[in-house]
């Protein structure tokens, strides 16, 4: 039986990216962006509240999805699917999409006046910190696809061994009180392989927790049953973290522990709420489920391009942010609708027919 709520949670999270990355333009916590506006407190707060769980949830969902996919696929089929749906689109994005983001970054931050071709060459030759926020090479938002590809291959021998040996964790033993402390595992794993602030070991751990723990129907039923308590706890902890952010009153280690705890409980709450209200299948959810990967893939390039031009005609952040969100949604879905009809672009960008 297909768990439609898993697809729908993923779709919801992907659609939230339009708001999330628009807010990044106005952040005040010291991180640059391809196009950068002045600090806006309410948009900054949105990032602060979402950051503990936003990308971790994507890796948890990926792990859950793999637990279902490997019930039907061999290891060879899985590796082939990963190459075609992750690695090939990653290469296509580096060659064809990411240089457009850094083109606008060069123009916005460095007053670049050269041609797009000149910047394209600059993309592969300029020294960079890998963010690409001020130009130069970057994996951009496709770092998620790169990490997911690497994590999937690293995890495959473990997943296949457990499948062959029928090793599993009994779902009936997974109570919520036993699962909540698992955020400590991600905390301990985070420093091991940290690349530019994005920990491969942390996301590997979240992927495996999704595969082995959060894919269990018994646990998911408990999360659904206790969704109200989890939601209230997640909201309260998020509000307290927002206060901590603006009032530096604890040592960094305490803040790190609290950050991982908030993110993990939010993930549990989202799964419980999603199972209760998002387990439906209709034309809209089916469309978004198929579109979620290409929407993730295309959205940021269009968002940066729209933001660059919106900044030219209005200084008001309220108008800017509205046009950036609506414009990037429009162009992203137009991009998807065109490319999904062309066999070559479907192949290059991992789009489902």
Nearest partner of 222 among 182, 178, 263, judged by Cα: 178
Q: What is the pLDDT of residue 62?
A: 94
pLDDT at 295: 96
CA distance 114 to 120: 10
Choose among 133, 136, 146: nearest CA to 21: 133
Express each pLDDT in 224-282 by its tens digit: 999 999 999 999 999 988 888 888 777 777 888 899 999 999 999 999 999 999 898 99
Contact 70, 160 (CB under 8 A): yes
pLDDT value of residue 195: 79
Domain ranges of the chain: 4-349
Looking at residue 100, its pLDDT comes to: 93
Q: Classify the C-alpha dihedral 86-92-94-98 as positive or negative.
A: negative
pTM value surpassing 0.85? yes
Report the alpha-carbon distance of residue 137 to residue 126 in Å, rounded: 7
Give the pLDDT of residue 99. Answer: 93
The model's pLDDT over 178-202, given as tens digits with 9 standing for 90+, comes to 899 999 999 888 888 887 778 899 9
- Cα dihedral angle (326, 327, 331, 332), rounded to 10 degrees? -50
Instruction: Show the low-confidence residues of the chain (pLDDT under 70).
Output: 1, 165-167, 171
């Amino acid at each position: 039986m297909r768990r439609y709520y898993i697809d729908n949670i993923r779709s919801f999270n992907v659609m939230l990216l339009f708001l999330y990355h628009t807010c990044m333009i106005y952040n005040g916590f010291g991180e640059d962006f391809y196009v950068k506006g002045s600090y806006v407190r309410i948009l900054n707060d949105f990032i602060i509240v979402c950051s503990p769980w936003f990308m971790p949830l994507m890796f948890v969902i990926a792990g859950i999805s793999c637990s279902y996919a490997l019930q039907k696929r061999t290891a060879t089929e899985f590796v082939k699917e990963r190459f075609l749906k992750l690695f090939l689109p990653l290469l296509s994005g580096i060659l064809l999409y990411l240089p457009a983001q850094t083109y606008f970054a060069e123009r916005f931050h460095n007053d670049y006046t050269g041609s797009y071709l000149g910047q394209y060459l600059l993309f592969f030759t300029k020294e960079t910190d890998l963010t690409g926020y001020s130009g130069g090479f970057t994996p951009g938002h496709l770092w998620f696809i790169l990490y997911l590809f690497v994590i999937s291959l690293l995890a495959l021998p473990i997943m296949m061994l457990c499948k062959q040996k029928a090793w599993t964790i009994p779902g009936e033993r997974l109570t919520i009180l036993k699962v909540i402390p698992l955020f400590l595992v991600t905390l301990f794993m985070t420093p091991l392989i940290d690349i530019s602030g994005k920990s491969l070991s942390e996301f590997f751990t979240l992927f495996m927790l999704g595969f082995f723990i959060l894919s269990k129907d018994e646990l998911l039923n408990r999360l659904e049953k206790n969704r109200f308590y989890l939601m209230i706890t997640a909201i309260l902890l998020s509000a307290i973290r927002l206060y901590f952010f603006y009032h530096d009153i604890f040592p960094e280690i305490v803040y790190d522990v609290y950050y991982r705890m908030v993110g993990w409980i939010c993930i549990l709450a989202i799964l419980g709420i999603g199972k209760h209200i998002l387990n439906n299948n209709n034309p809209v959810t089916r469309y978004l489920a198929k579109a979620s990967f290409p929407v993730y893939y295309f959205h940021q390039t269009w968002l940066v391009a729209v933001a660059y031009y919106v900044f030219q005609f209005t200084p008001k952040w309220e108008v800017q942010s509205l046009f950036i969100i609506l414009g990037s949604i429009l162009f992203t879905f137009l991009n998807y609708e065109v490319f999904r009809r062309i066999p070559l672009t479907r192949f290059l960008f991992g789009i489902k027919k």
